Amino acid sequence: MKSIVLSLLAVISISSCATGPNAQTGTVIGALGGAAAGGIIGNQSGRGLEGAAIGAGLGALGGNAIGNSQDQRNAQYYNQQQYQGRRPTGYYSNGQPYYGSPY
């Protein structure tokens, strides 16, 4: 029982690291799929609940990582499309280009 509580706390704390829409969806889907697979595998050894908890934790981590990478790829694509063909008018102090007002 202790491992279940610890696994759930770890999933909740780690899933808040990346908060894009695909990361959140990936975390939920990964946790559900991992819990199902872990429960089935753990049931074979007589520890279905522990297997489900461990599977949920690992599935949530994997789903969050995949969803976060999709969010980053979407943001990169959006930024490329938004400023395509425009030349920067200056640069911010952090090195990012400034394109001026779009109006």
Query: Smallest Cα–Cα separation from 63: which of 33, 36, 38, 30?
Result: 30
Cβ neighbours around 16 below 10 Å, total = 12
Sequence spans of domains, the chain: 2-83
Q: What's the confidence (pLDDT) of residue 31?
A: 92
Model pTM above 0.75: no
Q: What residue has token string 């640069």? A: 91
Q: Could you report the per-residue pLDDT of 15-33, keeping only the tens digit for each?
A: 556 678 888 888 999 999 9
Rounded Cα distance between 86 and 103, Å, is 13
**Is residue 76 scored above 90 in pLDDT?**
no
